[in-house]
Structure 1
Amino acid sequence: MAKYQIYLVRHGRTWFNRYNKMQGWSDTPLAPEGVEVAQQAAKALKDVDFAAAFSSDARRAIDTCKMIVDENINHDKLVPQKMMEFREEFYGYYEGMNSPEAWFMVGQPHGAKTFAEIIAKHGMDATKDFMKEADPFHDAENAEEYWTRVDSGFAKLDKIAKDGDKILLVSHGTTIRSITDRYNDGNFDVTVSPRNSSLTKMTRDNGKNTVTSYNQMLN
């Protein structure tokens, strides 16, 4: 397998982000300020020699990816591709709910009142397991289901990437935070969410991930 870099960019700010609502597999368009920060990210990344460009299959990620590719020096060679494997976590019953209220309902039985408090006390994977447990339909993804999906995405990238490649991947806040938590060796504070259109870099070396920077604002 190859050693390559993944440029993980969070999508621009959406209407649900603006209203602080749970936005997993549900989707809302980029808000005007979301388009603006995505365009800033595109300008900041325009000279990166991307070998390939991917996004989740959510419109907010697709649109952000297209803006970045359109500005890139390799725009005439890059064809953005969708990967459902890098969707946001699925929140089941809590999709579209007020975010602080949802996390209070999920965390309170475990002695935590906020998303950040659940992470600090129990870890990122627990936020997924607690949500599936609290979901009256149990449709939300638990940690095992989530990582099976995401890991299959990395396996697909391995079949495409070559040594030294830089790959653009536009994904989502909790997904980027989860990847950073799992592969950062404790160097980054994942109780803080990556900002919209921020950059997180990781190296994948023969199937091993290492996050090298987190939540870098591009402007």
Structure 2
Amino acid sequence: MTDVTLYVVRHGQTYYNIYNKLQGWSNSPLTEKGILDAQRAGDRLKNVTFKTAYCSDTTRAEQTARTILTANEAHSATDVTVSPLFREQFYGYYEGANMDETWYVAGAPHGLPTFKAIVNQYDIGTAKDFLKAADPFHDAENNEEYWTRWDQALDTIRHDSRLEDGDNVLLVSHGNTLLSLMERYGDGAYDLTERPKNGSLTKLALTPADVQVISYNE
């Protein structure tokens, strides 16, 4: 296992982002702005040498990752490892539903009618648990299920035999996942009620036993 720096980029804007719909394992295409988000991230990172690159198996993440690698001028990896382990939270029955309406259904039984209210009173992990309880099929991921998967995702990078200490890794990720990472590893330093920007950069130090936040949502 190695110590590496993760350059975590949120995928470019999608149509579901515009329509305020939950977009976990479901997909919608990048908008024109979303393509520009990816291109701008690529230009920003063009001089960073990435030994490897990872993303979820959603087209929005893969298109963003490949756009960034195409723009790279620092002899980086030319391909991306695509895996379902890196997916966003699964919203189950509420995939593609209006975000505000869904979080009302999840939080209102607890006197908390918005996602922000749930997070302010409890945390993002509790929001996941509330949503699974509200899902009539109970297919949505709760906090334990989500982190079981994401711990496997991070260990996939830790055990990548191509990596050596000090290498840089590109990871294209998702909005709620970035918030979840900040909640677990950010030591309370970040506002978790505001979603990270499409195309934004977060840097993490990934060690054999821990994750440390270097910067967030830049």
TM range (shorter): over 0.9
Separation in structure 1 between the aligned mates of residue 86 and residue 139 of structure 2, nearest angstrom: 18
* Residues 3-42 of structure 1 mapped to structure 2, 5 A cutoff: 3-42=3-42
Separation in structure 2 between the aligned mates of residue 141 and residue 73 of structure 1, nearest angstrom: 39
Q: What amino acid sits opposite 2:47 in the alignment?
A: D
Q: What amino acid sits opposite 1:80 in the alignment?
A: V
Equivalent residue number for residue 199 of structure 1: 201
Q: How many percent of aligned residue pairs carry the same amino acid?
A: 47
Deviation at 1:207, TM superposition (A): 2.2
Q: In structure 2, do the counterparts of structure 1 residues 141 and 77 end up closer, same or farther at CA, with 3 Å as the change threshold?
A: closer
Q: What amino acid sits opposite 1:99 in the alignment?
A: M
Equivalent residue number for residue 187 of structure 2: 185
Q: Secondary structure at the match of 2:5?
A: strand
2:96 is equivalent to residue 91 of structure 1: no
- 1:149-207 deviations in Å (ceiling 9; x for gaps): 00001111011132001100001000111011100111111111111011111101222
The farther-off stretch of 110-119 and 51-60 is 110-119
Equivalent residue number for residue 109 of structure 2: 109
Separation in structure 1 between the aligned mates of residue 197 and residue 206 of structure 2, nearest angstrom: 23
- 1:107-151 deviations in Å (ceiling 9; x for gaps): 111121211211111101001100000000000000111000000
Q: What amino acid sits opposite 2:117 in the alignment?
A: E
Separation in structure 1 between the aligned mates of residue 176 and residue 114 of structure 2, nearest angstrom: 14
Separation in structure 2 between the aligned mates of residue 4 and residue 79 of structure 1, nearest angstrom: 18
Q: Which runs of 4+ in 1 moved over 3 A?
A: 74-77
Relative to the length of structure 1, the TM-score reads 0.96
Give unpaired runs (5+ residues) of structure 2: none
Equivalent residue number for residue 167 of structure 2: 165
Q: Superposition RMSD on alpha carbons, in Å?
A: 1.1
Separation in structure 2 between the aligned mates of residue 83 and residue 75 of structure 1, nearest angstrom: 23
- Does the 8 Å contact 1:13/1:35 carry over to 2? yes
Give unpaired runs (5+ residues) of structure 1: none
Relative to the length of structure 2, the TM-score reads 0.96
2:118 is equivalent to residue 118 of structure 1: yes
Aligned length: 216
Equivalent residue number for residue 59 of structure 1: 59
Separation in structure 1 between the aligned mates of residue 130 and residue 175 of structure 2, nearest angstrom: 18
Separation in structure 2 between the aligned mates of residue 28 and residue 186 of structure 1, nearest angstrom: 32
